[in-house]
Amino acid sequence: MYDGTSRPPLFTPARRHSALRAGAAAVTLCVALLTAGCGSSQDTAQDAKATASPADGFPVTIDNCGVRTTYDKAPARVVTIHQHPAELLLALGLRDHIVGTAFPDSATLPELKKDYESIPQLAKKEPSFETVLDAEPDLVYGGYGSAFTESEGRSRKAFADAGIDTHLNREYCGKKRVTMKDTYDEIRTMGRIFGVPDRADKLVSGLRARVDKATTAVEDEPEVPVFVYDSGDKAAFTAGGKSLGTELIRLAGGKNVFADLDDVFGDVSWEQVVERRPEAIAIYDYAGAGSVEQKKKFLLAQPALKDVPAIRDKRFVVLPLTATLVGVRSAYAVEDLARGLHPESFA
């Protein structure tokens, strides 16, 4: 059973789940593309260039998952472990601060693709402690709790002893329910750490507007029961009530049929899936757990599921796993889910 402090069990072996490119033009392009629709590209570019100097707003003290860190200046050399922390920093126009990343999960947002692919990839999964040290970071930013697995020598204490600060995505700080507020707070925290609070506020405003637009479009529609299928054959590995996915479904005009599962992720029986009669299935897409088509084929081939409305109607909505986590993509997931659950509202 997943304990909420590391990546879901599929991320383990048993289950799964170079050079810097300098130049202000890259920073400007990243910020301008991501915030399109919330302001003009010209305005966004000017905002990025007009950001306060690195010394402004420092020192900054952050309490993160029980670790208190004071930053006297913005980190200059960052290693991100997992994809969603890298995307968050790129969305803030911080490409030139990232010296390495690891463990790509999903297709990258198109507006971030060029910058993401330019970051040196240190490992296909979590890099070793020594590999991270070789990149000479002053900050390591982990997306899942497994970024700082003590048994693999990557504990936050080990990095601290080496003089390297660490930050863990707040989604893995405890077992509380994760909401969109966590996404917005995480973005603003990164804005403070890197001395770009105005960029963070602008990014949050744009993401809020995207979510509000989607929720307004479906607010009068009937609630659709949704089953999240992450993976699994003997049992179904699904998103529980503490996951951000549950809130994304709610905002999109649906209801997670396993919202009563008191965890972020967990196993449920296929008999339970049948009993709860979901009308739509959200498939989480990520590397290492089979393709979306393989997952659909598996679900459609199960005799026990043939009378489940979602299976009978072949009603699937596909979400990249990284879009269901605390990061810039969760707002996009609300829109994608809303369109999949209530297509008539977007005709």
Task: Kindly write down the DSSP assignment for every residue of 270-335, as one continuous string.
Answer: HHHHHHH--SEEEEEE-TTS--HHHHHHHHHT-GGGTTSHHHHTT-EEEEEGGGGSSSTTHHHHHH
**CA-closest candidate to residue 16, choices 97, 125, 143:** 125
pLDDT of residue 264: 87
Cβ contact 84:104 at 8 Å: no
Under 8 Å between Cβ of 91 and 203: yes
pLDDT of 47 > 70? The answer is: no
Instruction: Kindly report the pTM of this predicted structure.
Output: 0.82
Q: What's the rounded mean pLDDT across residues 233-262?
A: 96
Q: What SS3 class is residue 164?
A: coil
List, in order of start, the domains of the chain with CATH numbers: 9-196 (3.40.50.1980), 210-346 (3.40.50.1980)
When the pLDDT of each residue in the chain is averaged and rounded to a whole number, the result is 87
Alpha-carbon 41 to chain mean position: 25
| pLDDT of 1 higher than 60 | no
CB 190 within 8 A of CB 20: no
User: Which has the minimum average pLDDT: 98-112, 168-182, 194-208?
Assistant: 168-182
Q: What angle do CA 62, 128, 13 make, to 5 degrees?
A: 105
Query: pLDDT grade, residue 20 (50/70/90)?
Result: very low
HSE of 175, CA atoms in CB hemisphere, 13 A: 8
Percent of the chain scoring above 70 in pLDDT: 84
Range with the lowest mean pLDDT among 32-36, 124-128, 155-159, 227-231? 32-36
Burial degree of 324 (CB within 10 A; 0-12, 13-18, 19+) = buried
Do 183 and 199 contact (CB within 8 A), yes or no? no
Is residue 57 within 8 A of residue 195, CB to CB? The reply is: yes
Q: What is the pLDDT of residues 227-240, one digit of tens each?
A: 999 999 999 999 99
Q: What is the mean pLDDT of residues 78-97?
A: 97
Distance CA 263, CA 265 (A): 5
Least confident span in 73-77, 190-194, 262-266, 329-333: 262-266
Compute the distance between CA of residue 78 and CA of residue 85 in angstroms, rounded to an integer: 11
- Token couple for 1: 């059973």
The tokens of 70 are what? 């004071």
Q: pLDDT tens for residues 142-200?
A: 999 999 999 999 999 999 999 999 999 998 887 689 999 999 999 999 999 999 999 99
Whether residue 14 is predicted with pLDDT greater than 50 in this model: the reply is no
Q: 138 pairs with which residues across the strands? A: none
What pLDDT is attached to residue 83? 95
Predicted confidence at residue 347, as pLDDT, reads 82
* Residue 48: partners with Cβ closer than 8 Å, 6 or more residues away: 24, 27, 28, 31, 32, 93, 199
Pairing between β-strand 67-71 and β-strand 78-81 as defined by DSSP bridges: unpaired
